[in-house]
Amino acid sequence: MEENLDKKTILIVDDEKTIVEMLVYNLQKEGYNTLEANDGEEAVRIALEQKPNLVLLDIMLPKIDGLTVCKRIRQTLNIPILMISAKDEEIDKILGLELGADDYITKPFSVRELVARVKANLRKAEISEKQIEDGDSKTEANIITIGDLTLDLNKFEVKVRGEVIDLTLREFEVLRYLANQPGQVVTRETLLEKVWGYEYYGDIRTVDVTVRRIREKIEKDTSNPKILITKRGVGYYIASK
């Protein structure tokens, strides 16, 4: 298929040939360009050279495992990474603090669900890029301050008690959505829809693990959070003071 530079490019990383062929066929049918890698070393090389718009990344890979690949790509590129895992893989590990994958999907998966996840992640990334570009062109401050928490929406920067906190784009978006309505409890389902862009597909545990990642970075005591609070059985909110 002739490459169209206007199309989004997806890097598919899996050592199972039948899965790669199936994903290439279905994603190209949806109008995407595709790149392929069958082991971890090849995946890192292609990602850094070709700079795809999104990576579909299997965890179990020859040479370098998918978690290490994710970490290496994340050091250079801030693009959506969707991990493909076996059912027995731990979500905490997949979405771990040091890795920063955007989400995961378990095998066996439906093509329809995977395509929906790809579209949602690309759409959110595009919106975020536009907001960053718009922010760069603004001169006025666009800052939310709630207690010890400060969000600079132009710079996509978070500070807690004056200290800059290193968050992934997805973590920042969770905080921003909650900070726009301090004291108001937001359900996990709403966060999944508004931040991840999933209206139906998606696992709410993704939200829980991402919130836990954020707390590890912004709270003095994660067992007794003062900024990002859980409303048991409902969802999360930012303390209004």
pLDDT score recorded for residue 1: 42
Domain ranges of the chain: 9-128, 138-238
Q: Does the pLDDT of residue 60 top 50, yes or no?
A: yes
> pLDDT for 197-232, tens place per residue?
877 666 788 899 889 989 999 999 999 999 999 999
Strands 9-13 and 54-58: what pairing?
A: parallel
| Centroid of chain to Cα 38 | 23
For the chain, what percent of residues have pLDDT higher than 70? 85
Question: How many residues does this entry show for the chain?
Answer: 241
Residues with Cβ within 8 Å of 110's Cβ and at least 6 positions away in sequence, in order, are none
> pLDDT for 139-187, tens place per residue?
456 888 999 999 998 888 899 998 999 888 788 999 999 999 999 999 9
> pLDDT for 104-132, tens place per residue?
888 888 899 899 999 988 988 887 666 65
For the chain, what percent of residues have pLDDT higher than 90? 50
Tokens of 189: 């389902």
In CATH, what class is 9-128? alpha beta
Tokens of 70: 């994710």
- Rounded to 5 degrees, φ, ψ at 159 are -125, 140
CATH number of the domain located at residue range(s) 138-238 in this protein: 1.10.10.10
Calculate the average pLDDT of the chain.
Answer: 86
Q: Does the pLDDT of residue 77 top 80, yes or no?
A: yes
Q: Does the pLDDT of residue 18 top 50, yes or no?
A: yes
What would you measure as the largest C-alpha separation in the chain, in angstroms?
56
pLDDT score recorded for residue 204: 82
